[in-house]
Amino acid sequence: MADDVKNAPNRVDGVQKVTGKAKYIAEWKFPKLAYGYLVHSTIAKGKIKVIDTSKAEKQTGVIKVLTHLNTPKFAKGANDRSHRPLHDDAILFSGQAIGVVVAETFESARYAASLVKVTYEKETPTTDIRKNLDKAILPRPRADRGNPVEAFAKSDVKIDVEYSIPIEHHNAMEMHASVANWDNNKLTIYDKTQGVNMIRGHLAGIFGVPPNDITVLAPFVGGGFGGALRPTPNCFLTALAARETKLPVKIVYSRRQVFTAHGYRPYSIQKIKMSAEKSGKLTAIIHESVNNSSTNEDSAENMVGISRSLYACPNVKTETKFVRTDMQTPLAMRAPGMVSGAFALESALDELAYELKIDPLELRLINYAEVSPEDGKPFTSKELRKCYAEAAKRFGWEKRKPEPRSMKDGNLLVGYGMATGTWGSAWLPASARITIKADGTALVESSVTDIGPGTYTTLSIIAAKNLGLPIEKIKTVLGDSTLPPAPIQGGSFTTASVGTAVQEGSQVVLKKLFEMAKFGDYKFEDVKIEGGKFVAKDGKSVSFADVLKQNNLPLIAQQFDATPNNGERSKYTIASHGAQFVEVKVDEELGIIKVTRVVELTAAGKIINPKGAKSQEIGGVVWGIGMALTEETQVDHRYGRIMNPNFAGYYIPAHADVQGVETGFVEEIDTVINPLGVKGLGELGMVGVPAAIANAVFHATGKRFRNLPITPDKLI
């Protein structure tokens, strides 16, 4: 087990963050900084007939007001259907940015923005997918596995159920913000983003400048969760305002505005037909999903893939559809597709377990996939059985009485539920520069951002181990587009991708340094790397610092470009897995559900940063609690308007909602997946949690809730 965090390194940026030395995007400034504030549409569909900015322009301190009428028209690619603010007079969704007021102070800009008057040519918006299911589009049909329709019809035991999940918003702690400055034709911009190179390419394409003339910086990001995987409107608008005013400009969203800044987890409806033999062996899974998209882009989230990959079932049919609505385009939100699909699949499996009168854990073991159900390929590693066994033992699953409403604590109903989580483990090309200095320190540089999971620490740990230096001697610099290229931080592939570049780059620079050392007849393969030295078997050693000084060098640096070995990986199936066990206590009279205990065991390859990994899994559990019990973006379909764009109406879990959470890891030895042997776990931690909670609520109350969140009004 990889649970011990006592001796694990602390977060290297922890002191900076708790003392305020870590500067987030809105804290950066340029001299003579101006402030922008957005004007938003109050309708969801139609056109702008008149936009009157005269009162705003007369206000003290106002520098410029930008609208579609005075904004330069920048070319769009033929296949680019993304929304670009101020491009024309069309309104695609409520809260769309239709103007920017630039002023000497934030307060002046905000007040002047309230004076902009708009007259619209209104159209009736369509935002309710349930009323438009007949218009659902199936973009990418997939072939059935086996004959699921016939198998379902002939099976002994079957269920036919529907589940739904509302729109949810990312709501990271840090608001979206940008601070931009043009120096002639060169742009420097601080932007809340999960990928500085993505932003550089985005702005270079719009403004027609070489990418190398744009520097994008995001040294610290206060949470992303997918909400910064695409350029948000403030990014382009801040750069535009700075160019048009010839002043540095800052735009920072309010919490209310954040709900219009990016996409969201889409509203989804999932239908599952599932059947089994009386022994519990699955015979068919038919899983269909439909989610809302926008009118300008097609977005069909893959919620059904988990039904093709998690359990051994010979007959599977899946369909993923979308309905166009007058809302923003949805966007990947932590564990996109997988957590939504798991809620349906793992809830349905629980319902089937009760029909079969088989323990829910036993049913999963009966249908355990030893190889990929889709193509028969072996897993690079899979320790899900150990996760089940150890988590069940820690939780005390054997004490569960199978009948609903059979367990109590005083006047509270007690329920036990469980589910399975899974996530992919991608490895993408990435680069890092490793520098060893004559003062005994080392520098790690990559353009990848750290959106909060502890990437600074994880990369420092990898470098320290490979360079044989204390972690205190490692400095890691990230979130700068001038540094070696790296993918966006998302999908839980950062450690596998950038971490591999750091590890392999460390070896390359050490070999170069060793060649310079002329260390007797010793070979590089025969020496140890420890304490900043090359150490031979006979005890002789030479320090890195001495080698550099002997060669009159202050440092030695090497950039390494890590490329995945997809040829070898293609022979296998790659996935992380986990087991979640949940206890709830329910007060039916008050309609209150408390998640009192969670035990989660995860198998995600080698754990590089135990403290960071444990924190990620706890965070995943908290997300799961929110998804199951509290989070819901409410839309008034008469107007296509979000009605609760604030923390007064959009409820996220508070401290009192998060009680006993125990997480741990079953380490896997995986020599194929990547040189580090790591898998993705940041999103894995939440995948099965909403289903496990819903299953526990059923066990406690005998009431099956198929529509999230499970709020007091539904319970009563």
Q: Is 495 exposed, middle or buried (0-12, 13-18, 19+ CB in 10 A)?
A: buried
Q: Which two tokens stand for residue 283?
A: 């015979």
d(CA 387, CA 600): 8
Instruction: Work out the end-to-end distance of the chain between its first and last CA atoms, rounded to an integer number of angstroms.
Output: 42
List 641's β-bridge partners, or say none: 636
For residue 480, what is the DSSP state? B
Q: What is the DSSP annotation of 596-629?
A: EEEEEEEE-B--S-HHHHHHHHHHHHHHHHHHHH
- What lies within 8 Å, CB to CB, of 503 at 6+ separation is 462, 466, 675, 676
DSSP-derived 3-state class of residue 23: coil
632, containing H or E segment? none
- What lies within 8 Å, CB to CB, of 131 at 6+ separation is none
d(CA 472, CA 441): 9
For residue 684, what is the DSSP state? G
The 10 Å Cβ neighbour count of residue 33 is: 16
Q: Which two tokens stand for residue 186?
A: 């060169």
The DSSP bridge pattern shows strands 62-66 and 90-91 to be: unpaired
Q: By C-alpha distance, which of 123, 134, 103 is closest to 46?
A: 123
Q: What are phi and psi of 648, to 5 degrees?
A: -75, -25
Amino acid (one-letter) located at 541: S
Amino acid (one-letter) located at 135: K
Active-site position among 346, 504, 668, 683: 683
d(CA 366, CA 283): 12
List 158's β-bridge partners, or say none: 275
Q: What string of H, E and C letters represents the secondary structure of 345-403? A: HHHHHHHHHHHHCCCHHHHHHHCECCECCCCCCEECCCCHHHHHHHHHHHHCHHHCCCC
List 324's β-bridge partners, or say none: 293
The 10 Å Cβ neighbour count of residue 657 is: 16
DSSP-derived 3-state class of residue 452: coil
Q: What is the DSSP annotation of 179-213?
A: EEEEETTEEEEEE--S-HHHHHHHHHHHHT--GGG
d(CA 406, CA 582): 16
d(CA 401, CA 392): 14
Runs of H (alpha helix) within 369-498: 384-395, 455-467, 494
**Taking the CA of residue 265 as centre, how many other CA atoms within 13 Å lie in the half-sphere pointing to its CB?**
27
311 to each of 205, 362, 363, 684, how far by Cα in Å?
Answer: 44, 13, 10, 17
Amino acid (one-letter) located at 257: Q
Examine the residue annotation and report whether 683 is marked as an active-site residue of this protein: yes
Q: By C-alpha distance, which of 524, 523, 497 is closest to 508?
A: 524
Residues belonging to the active site: 683
